[in-house]
Amino acid sequence: DPPTGCPVAPSPAAAGPTPALFSWEFAADPYPAYAWLREHAPVHRTRLPSGVEAWLVTRYPDARQALADARLSKNPVHHSEAAHQKGKTGIPGERSANLMTHLLNIDPPDHTRLRRLVSKAFTPRRVAAFAPRIQELTDRLIDAMREKQHGAERGSADLIHEFAFPLPIYAICDLLGVPPEDQDDFRDWAGMMIRHGGGPRGGVARSVKKMRAYLAELIHRKRGALGDDLISGLIRASDHGEHLTENEAAAMCFVLLFAGFETTVNLIGNGIYALLRHPAQRELLQKSIAAGDTELLATAVEELLRYDGPVELATWRYATRDLTLGGARIAEGDPVLVVLAAADRDPARFDEPDVLDLTRRDNPHLGYGHGIHYCLGAPLARLEGQTALATLLTRLPDLRLAAEPDDLRWRGGLIMRGLRTLPVEFTPERP
Ligand code: HEM
């Protein structure tokens, strides 16, 4: 039986919805429910808040297998419910074939071709060269947080709104080569998508439409005057004489924005939140950063990804034939959702999985996925995460939580896990 208060339906075999799985209480701490599922119903069919029925995969070995299983397609045409439910792709309010034909919605051989082309432009070297710019952006945002205090004794801020949110959007805009004067428009469109993610609303559809028109125009303009930016790199990239079409380049920019934005907001938000709730771990990290040691910083970011990562459920997959996974019989056309947050706390793979241990070395977490769709932006995410944490802990050394954990709210939506706000306090620097 489920432990008292466990929000999972008592009989996992019973058909029908398990609404408590996606309730507000569940959002605050989904881990007990996932532990129950891992043990009692590791591949569990449930009805999602949208009404769509899907399988949840919660054990580490099953999750890893599913992420790399070629029988599970990323292409929504394989969903048995032909009349596709709203928001099913995780991208609200937008069905345009143009922007939606991107890496996370396609299979080989198209995926192989597009991924090869983007990898020629979005290289680890390009990301490494971007490090000083990320540092500059990070410092600028912290300056702004400190300066607004006007000599007050205690500084306060919402770390999501003032830091975690703007950093990745400006970073991606810079990387792509969106001119500075247009970046605030991007910030607004992205803000609309993150605030209202999970359901198609008029504002979201409008924002995506504006973004699409803008990207198409920008790509067209860049083609006439190529520069050093990533969009120019995407236009230049060629593989055996093949290039991205303008539509493919626009969809690629969109997926980079879409996949690289809210994830990084949540890495910073969830990461700082976990550190503020684990003072001994935070102190260990702070000391090692002060000593100029970057090794612990690197394992810390990986552990924060495992412990409370930005992507709770991997993006949608659909069975292309009847198959068995973790003992469950999945029918052709059924959607399969891999619960990364559950797999990364599986005691069969991780020692003391519910403990935050920044020194953890044996940590093959699935926070960036696995297989051919493994996160393309992982080097950039690591750079942003490490720079953000190190700089915050150095420049705001007495950063503390300014709210009770019970009062914090988590954003709704199926795929991502992140806080709406993270109120903090700190001592502002004396002028
Ligand atoms: C794919 C996580 C940051 C671009 C993925 C996947 C995960 C993930 C789990 C695989 C999804 C699946 O298989 O269903 C994360 C996390 C991030 C992060 C936790 C931050 C901490 C970024 C950034 C970018 C990015 C910064 C780019 C600017 C992508 C792209 C894909 C992807 C393009 C699709 C790759 C493909 O289908 O071949 N990411 N991501 N991600 N990510 Fe990230």
Q: What is the ipTM of this complex?
A: 0.99
Instruction: Indicate which atom in ligand 1 lies nearest the CA of residue 267.
Output: 21
- Ligand 1 neighbour 366 (Cβ under 6 A): no
Q: Identify the segments of the chain with pLDDT beneath 50.
A: 1-19, 82-97, 198-200
Contact status, residue 276 vs residue 401, Cβ threshold 8 Å: yes
Q: Determine the pLDDT at residue 175.
A: 95
Instruction: Indicate which atom in ligand 1 lies nearest the CA of residue 168.
Output: 26
Q: Determine the pLDDT at residue 279.
A: 98
Q: Determine the pLDDT at residue 4.
A: 39
Contact status, residue 142 vs residue 187, Cβ threshold 8 Å: no
**Residue 259 alpha carbon to ligand 1 centre in Å:** 5
Distances (CA, A) of 263 to 137, 256, 362: 18, 11, 23
Q: Determine the pLDDT at residue 135.
A: 98
Q: Determine the pLDDT at residue 431.
A: 55
CA 350 – CA 347 distance, rounded (Å): 5
Residue 339 per-residue DSSP state: B
Residue of 252, 368, 386 with the most ligand 1 atoms within 8 Å of its CB, for mutation: 368
CA 282 – CA 294 distance, rounded (Å): 14
Q: Determine the pLDDT at residue 280.
A: 98
Q: Determine the pLDDT at residue 1.
A: 36
Contact status, residue 171 vs residue 134, Cβ threshold 8 Å: yes
Residue (of 125, 143, 130) closest to 176 by Cα position: 130
Q: Determine the pLDDT at residue 189.
A: 85
Q: Determine the pLDDT at residue 208.
A: 82
Q: Determine the pLDDT at residue 171.
A: 96
**Residue 374 alpha carbon to ligand 1 centre in Å:** 7
CA 374 – CA 74 distance, rounded (Å): 13
pTM given for the model: 0.91
List phi, psi (to 5°) of 297. -60, -40
Residue 26 CB contacts under 8 Å (≥ 6 apart), including other chains:
7, 20, 33
Q: Determine the pLDDT at residue 196.
A: 65
Q: Determine the pLDDT at residue 425.
A: 95
**Residue showing tokens 């504006």:** 210
Residue (of 302, 284, 316, 321) closest to 385 by Cα position: 302
